[in-house]
Chain A
């Protein structure tokens, strides 16, 4: 989905720099920019967080993309993703020049060919398969919250609005999803049983 081509109505408020639209653009493209940053840093996304170099690259990329000049320079006629990725690569180029990290600078959007060992232990195919199986058992509104929050990366407020829930209800369902998944994986003996903490 190309955001501005599918929803051209978003372009004028985007050019004006209206925060809700900027947030929407951010949420739509952040995972792609993060993946590109990880790829260029030769790391796997599962071993990187937003509090890392990859996160810094994402932040810097969007800061530049949302600056006045960059917003006004985007015409809305071409897909936004390549435009954003070009900005991201410029950020990476600057990092490469600084020599702080080794950066791979190419336009390669290929999937990861990194060694399995670079993945985190929990990203084992058996656990991933069990997680997918668990997601398939969700009921409404758990499934809706999962789709909007975990698949589409929508904010809690937007999710609550679309599902006619309160933000607290969305938060509660997210916590429930985590606990249910943990129990599911524990029952399958795929993860260590979490220690029971007793509250005083």
Chain B
């Protein structure tokens, strides 16, 4: 065995070469592969990575989309128990309850949720005219307590005989029971009630 002429100092790459028995070190092999992979053409659509993406990512996305679509269709097709439609503008939730059904002469009550404290004002705009529901002819407007829970307003009205088809009702929570309170609403929403003909 020949003698060591001069003590060398070793850097990491040389130590790696020694550990690799003089062959390319794993770090060099790694770097070589990365260089090569960067030069190679992108993988085709049938690569394992894309299949993995299809299975792990695209499939759940498609399933979620289908579920959302199914939910949407179900909600759209769900029969409305009282033939009402909420057309909210924000502010609070409102539901119209028709008893026994939305026909002239039946009772109509409001169920409100997430409403602030205040007086309920409600009206229907018919051309230039305004048909006031609350305050009613006696000047009464229901007073609501602030509540996130749905609260049924006990003062139901009778659906007028001249209501047919889609009727838009504006609901406002005001600071006073007077009609003028609608100009400074605390919350506001709109309901559409589909009123059917009473006769078959």
Residues of B within 8 A of A (CB): 1-10, 12-33, 35-37, 39-40, 43-44, 46-49
Contacts and interface: CB of A to CB of B under 8 A. Distances in A.
Interface of A: 13, 16-20, 22-23, 26-27, 30-31, 34-35, 45-46, 49-50, 55, 58-59, 62-63, 66, 116, 120-129, 131-132, 135, 146, 149-151, 153-156, 174, 177-178, 181-182, 185, 189-192, 194
A150 B48 contact: no
29 contacts: A19-B37, A19-B43, A26-B33, A26-B36, A30-B29, A31-B23, A31-B24, A34-B24, A45-B23, A46-B17, A55-B32, A59-B32, A63-B40, A120-B14, A123-B17, A124-B2, A125-B1, A128-B18, A150-B20, A151-B20, A174-B26, A177-B19, A178-B19, A181-B18, A181-B19, A185-B10, A190-B7, A191-B8, A191-B9
Nearest to B31: A50
A69 B54 CA distance: 27
Given A19-B49, A55-B32, A192 B7 contact: yes
B148 to A, nearest CB: 47
Contacts of B39: 59, 63
Given A23-B37, A46-B22, A153-B26, 8 more contacts: A45-B24, A49-B13, A58-B32, A122-B17, A135-B19, A153-B24, A181-B15, A194-B9
A190 B4 contact: yes
Chain A interface, DSSP helix/strand/loop, else mixed: helix
A82 B35 CA distance: 24
A178 B32 contact: no
A154 B26 contact: yes
B22 A128 contact: yes
Contacts of B14: 120, 122
A129 B12 CA distance: 18
A10 B4 CA distance: 46
A167 to B, nearest CB: 11
Contacts of B16: 150, 174, 178
Contacts of A20: 48
A67 B27 CA distance: 25
Nearest to B5: A121
A18 B47 contact: yes
A135 B21 CA distance: 10
Nearest to B25: A150
Contacts of B9: 191-192, 194
Contacts of A127: 4, 8, 18
